[in-house]
């Protein structure tokens, strides 16, 4: 896949002063911004390179292209501009089945930006155009024209209308259409048009605040995890800094969690206790293999003169050759085990110090309307249970999912407990306005009959020799249930009646000899959340798809945030 360069990195490379290298071709890979095209024109005037290959991440406008052509003409460099490509790559693929929009200024298309009460119509149009441009790039790259479905009356519908128009315009121009010929035969969606479900973040505000229990989503929630790279603070051992001295600066170590990592691919969606057991199992297996290699080396090298060792030679040579030849594989295995031991230990530290298992279990009960075994006030008031942010997240989920808002007296009691715990109530101000509005607009989201069940004690990781001391942490197992976004998809894929909301249907009437008609049995779908998404929702869709053979579902969102980042946006909106 194409490497992702941030705006800063692009600017640093493109906008630095560079010496002419007249016998070298130059390849540009940039966004078609005014700043970038001006710099390309300057490079042409300065005759920096032998030839120019211009690759634009999204389509360049005609006026900007004419500016470059004029500069090339003035610099007598028309023949040196060898190729100009629109690459349609204005999105980032994080997983085989997950993508996010690659916007230069994330705040421009954030939940906060879309939901500002004082937003101007022109600003909203600009946000929608930015999202549509990226989605158009996505479908061009996919080589498929979608069948669009979306709920009525929100930002998702605005995106749907604009995307539908952009696709129609492109299909109308048969000669220059991006959805004909070669492009249509390549993707896995080429035989059947995919269903494209555009959802709005406002349909479900509880899930992005939810404390989670699966490995990937937990890493994103509690650690610094961005574009598949996680940063972990390395523990400095038990020795304390001398009195009066500055505390030691903790080293940060970064790890890339990629598709090549088999352990990650297998366990990123597993409940954390399962991950801890699996890491311990890998560690035990590795130690056994490591001891075998050492033993064979020792027999061959150190005791090679012994008669006994010589007689074992024929037996062991084959074993040693096999062990040594698998050494690189063994070392790579060791690297991955170390990686997951460090990452899982860092996650476990957060679970234990913040009682995240208690939060996860309680929130699951709130969302599924199950019987609660303790009072919400007790958790908020417990100084040992979680951070200020954890308490606020829990209360917001209670407020969002309750059928009836608490009475004024109860609300005052909760607010006092939250303030006493050190919480900032700005996010609650916004959620109150949002809840009042959604109550008028539609029925609240249904979270289904979710739930968790505690299992017996951990077997492998409760041993004294384990890396993971799991005492005090509940061994919770998730019960499969569909979150609101998954429920909308399920209703559409299975052709059920749709109680969630009235859906708008955009189905481009296309020439039948190019596109097959929509069949009643939809196999491929893309779910996209306008206003931001999260790994909890992504994992829920992955689990939903696993249970349905022959179906393929992709998940995308305008931005990917964890609960802390989302809370910050809610607080900003609550301060307005």
- Tens digits of residue pLDDT in 336-369: 999 999 999 999 999 999 999 999 999 999 998 8
Return the bridge partners of 195, or none. 147, 525
The tokens for 308 are 């006994």
Q: How far is CA 224 from CA 60, 221, 279, 346, in A?
A: 34, 8, 21, 11
Q: Are residues 60 and 108 in the same domain?
A: no
Q: Which of 86, 106, 125 is the last residue of a domain?
A: 86
Q: Are residues 186 and 118 in the same domain?
A: yes
Q: For residue 329, what is the enclosing H or E element?
A: helix 327-354
Of 305-319, 336-350, 389-403, 524-538, the poorest mean pLDDT is in 305-319
CATH code, 196: 3.40.50.1910
Q: Are residues 24 and 100 in the same domain?
A: no
Q: Are residues 98 and 161 in the same domain?
A: yes
Q: Which of 86, 109, 125 is the last residue of a domain?
A: 86
Q: Give pLDDT, residue 433.
A: 92
pLDDT > 70 fraction of the chain, expressed in percent and rounded? 76
Cα–Cα distance between 174 and 514 in angstroms, integer? Answer: 11
**pLDDT average, residue stretch 215-242:** 83
The tokens for 194 are 């995919």
How many separate domains does the chain show?
Answer: 3
Residue 490 inside a domain? The answer is: yes
Residue 448 inside a domain? The answer is: no
Q: Give pLDDT, residue 176.
A: 78
Comparing 250 with 340, the larger pLDDT belongs to 340
108 DSSP assignment: G
Residue 499 has pLDDT above 50, yes or no: no
CATH code, 52: 3.40.50.2060
**pLDDT average, residue stretch 506-534:** 66
Confidence of residue 515 (pLDDT cuts 50, 70, 90): very low
Residue 444 inside a domain? The answer is: no
- The secondary structure of 238-305 as a DSSP string is SPPPPTTSPPPPPPEEEEE--TT-HHHHHHTTSBHHHHHHHHHHHHHHHHHHHHHHHHHHIIIIITTT
Q: Are residues 54 and 139 in the same domain?
A: no
Q: Are residues 100 and 198 in the same domain?
A: yes
Specify whether the backbone of 211 is left (phi greater than 0), alpha (psi in -120 to 50) or beta: beta
Residue 129 inside a domain? The answer is: yes
Q: Give pLDDT, residue 235.
A: 63
Q: Are residues 184 and 119 in the same domain?
A: yes
Residue 537 inside a domain? The answer is: yes
Q: Are residues 72 and 110 in the same domain?
A: no
Residue 378 inside a domain? The answer is: no
Q: Are residues 34 and 110 in the same domain?
A: no
Residue 514 inside a domain? The answer is: yes
Residue 373 inside a domain? The answer is: no
Contacts of 341 (CB under 8 A, 6+ apart): 279, 283, 467
Confidence of residue 333 (pLDDT cuts 50, 70, 90): confident
Q: Give pLDDT, residue 301.
A: 57
Q: Are residues 126 and 197 in the same domain?
A: yes
Comparing 175 with 545, the larger pLDDT belongs to 545
Q: Are residues 196 and 96 in the same domain?
A: yes
Q: Which of 351, 373, 394 is the last residue of a domain?
A: 351
Residue 439 has pLDDT above 60, yes or no: yes
Cα–Cα distance between 224 and 284 in angstroms, integer? Answer: 28
Average predicted confidence (pLDDT) for the chain: 83
Structural domain harbouring 497: 91-204+483-574
Chain centre distance of CA 192: 26
Residues 53-71 pLDDT 10s = 999 999 999 999 999 999 9
Q: Are residues 22 and 61 in the same domain?
A: yes
What is the number of alpha carbons within 13 Å of residue 207 lying toward its C-beta? 29
Highest mean pLDDT out of 105-114, 204-213, 281-290, 452-461: 204-213
């Amino acid at each position: 896949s194409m490497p992702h360069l941030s705006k800063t990195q692009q600017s640093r490379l493109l906008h630095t002063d560079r010496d002419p290298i007249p016998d070298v071709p130059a390849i540009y890979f940039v966004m078609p911004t005014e700043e970038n095209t001006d710099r390309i024109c300057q490079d042409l005037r300065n005759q920096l390179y032998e030839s120019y290959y211009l690759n634009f991440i999204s389509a360049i406008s005609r006026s900007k292209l004419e500016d470059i052509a004029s500069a090339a003409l003035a610099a007598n460099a028309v023949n040196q501009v060898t190729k100009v490509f629109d690459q349609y790559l204005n999105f980032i693929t994080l997983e085989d089945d997950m993508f996010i929009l690659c916007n230069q200024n994330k705040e421009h298309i954030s939940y906060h930006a879309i939901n500002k009460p004082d937003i101007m119509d022109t600003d909203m149009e600009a946000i929608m155009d930015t999202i549509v441009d990226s989605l158009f790039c996505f479908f061009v790259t996919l080589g498929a024209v979608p069948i669009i479905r979306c709920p009525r009356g929100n930002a998702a519908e605005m995106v749907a209308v604009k995307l539908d128009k952009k696709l129609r315009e492109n299909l109308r121009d048969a000669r220059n259409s991006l959805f004909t010929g070669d492009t249509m035969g390549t993707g896995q969606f080429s035989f059947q048009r995919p269903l494209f479900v555009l959802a709005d973040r406002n349909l479900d505000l509880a899930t992005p605040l939810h404390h989670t229990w699966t490995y990937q989503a937990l890493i994103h929630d509690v650690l610094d995890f961005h574009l598949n790279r996680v940063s972990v603070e390395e523990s400095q051992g038990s020795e304390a800094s001398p009195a009066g001295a500055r505390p030691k600066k903790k080293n940060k170590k970064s790890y890339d969690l990629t598709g090549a990592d088999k352990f990650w691919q297998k366990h990123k969606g597993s409940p954390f206790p399962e991950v801890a057991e699996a890491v311990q199992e890998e560690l035990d297996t590795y130690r056994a293999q490591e001891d075998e290699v050492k033993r064979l080396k020792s027999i061959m090298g150190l005791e090679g003169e012994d008669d006994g060792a010589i007689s074992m030679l024929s037996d062991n040579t084959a074993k040693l050759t096999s062990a040594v030849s698998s050494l690189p594989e063994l070392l790579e295995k060791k690297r991955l085990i170390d990686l997951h031991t460090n990452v899982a230990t860092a996650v476990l530290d957060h679970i234990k110090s913040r009682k995240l298992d208690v939060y996860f279990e309680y929130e699951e009960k709130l969302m599924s309307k199950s019987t609660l075994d303790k009072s919400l006030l007790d958790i908020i008031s417990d100084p040992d249970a979680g951070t200020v942010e954890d308490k606020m997240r829990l209360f917001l989920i209670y407020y969002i999912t309750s059928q009836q808002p608490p009475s004024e007296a109860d609300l005052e009691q909760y607010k006092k407990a939250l303030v006493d715990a050190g919480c900032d109530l700005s996010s609650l101000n916004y959620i109150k306005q949002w809840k009042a509005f959604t109550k008028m607009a539609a029925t609240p989201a249904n979270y289904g009959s979710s739930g968790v069940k505690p299992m017996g004690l951990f077997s492998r990781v409760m041993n004294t020799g384990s890396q993971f001391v799991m005492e005090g942490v509940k061994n919770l197992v998730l019960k499969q249930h569909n979150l609101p976004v998954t429920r909308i998809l399920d209703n559409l894929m299975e052709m059920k009646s749709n109680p969630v909301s009235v859906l708008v249907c955009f189905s481009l009437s296309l020439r039948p000899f190019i596109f097959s008609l929509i069949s009643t049995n939809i196999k491929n779908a893309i779910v996209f959340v306008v206003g931001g998404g999260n790994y909890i929702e992504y994992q829920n869709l992955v689990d939903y798809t696993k249970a349905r053979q022959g179906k393929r579902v992709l998940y995308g969102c305008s931005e990917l945030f964890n609960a802390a980042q989302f809370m910050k946006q809610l607080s900003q909106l609550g301060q307005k």
